[in-house]
């Protein structure tokens, strides 16, 4: 009779499990970076829209506003709250924006200073970010909630 052994040794099994675990950890890490990256891209566009709003208000001396519509998940830049939008930006469908202390609509004085500084909260699928608009020349920054 021939002694035919089939199967894996314990060392081979441990090596296979280690490789599988390594692949899963790398995949999870990349998925986390992708979430942060999508918010970063959105925030860069949002900052450009804020800068456009500020510069347009300063150059034309017309009160342009950025109006959030949290229930419909978008924001618009308009010459006034009742006139048609010149810029319309949709947010990703699984995000939620809450205007906490920031004036809605957001606007600037003809000198470039924000009229009602404050905070908004952006909840993505995995993270929560707070965007702060301090007193001054209309710059904003965000903090990722830990």
pLDDT value, residue 5: 67
List the structure tokens of 15. 């090596």
Residue 46: pLDDT above 90? yes
- C-alpha 89/C-alpha 63 separation (Å) is 19
Pick the CATH number of 11-144 from 3.40.1440.10, 3.55.40.10, 3.30.70.20, 3.90.330.10: 3.55.40.10
Q: What is the pLDDT of residues 61-118, one digit of tens each?
A: 788 899 999 899 899 999 877 788 999 999 888 899 999 988 888 888 888 888 889 9
Domain ranges of the chain: 11-144
- Which string of DSSP letters, residue by residue, matches the chain? ------S--HHHHHHHHHHHHHHHHHHHHHHHHHHHHHHHHHHHHHHHHHHHHHHHHHHH----EEEEETTTTEEEEESSTTSPPSEEEEPPTT-EEEESSS-SSEEB-TTS-BSS-EEEEEE-SS-EEEEEE-SSSS--EEEE--
Q: Whole-model pTM?
A: 0.71
- C-alpha 47/C-alpha 44 separation (Å) is 5
Least confident of 7-11, 33-37, 38-42: 33-37
pLDDT value, residue 62: 81
Q: What is the pLDDT of residues 52-72, one digit of tens each?
A: 988 888 888 788 899 999 899
């Amino acid at each position: 009779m021939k002694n035919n052994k089939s199967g894996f040794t314990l060392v081979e099994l441990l090596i296979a499990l280690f490789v599988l675990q390594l692949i899963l950890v790398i995949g999870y890490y990349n998925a986390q970076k992708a979430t942060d990256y999508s918010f970063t891209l959105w925030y860069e566009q949002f900052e450009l829209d804020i800068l456009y709003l500020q510069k347009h208000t300063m150059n034309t001396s017309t009160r342009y506003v950025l109006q959030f519509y949290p229930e419909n998940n978008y924001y618009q830049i308009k010459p006034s709250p009742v006139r048609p939008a010149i810029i319309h930006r949709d947010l990703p469908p699984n995000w939620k924006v809450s205007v906490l202390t920031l004036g809605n609509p957001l606007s600037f004085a003809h000198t470039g200073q924000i009229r009602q500084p404050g905070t908004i909260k952006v909840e993505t699928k995995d993270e929560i970010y707070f965007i702060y608009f301090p007193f001054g020349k209309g710059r904003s920054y965000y903090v990722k909630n830990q």
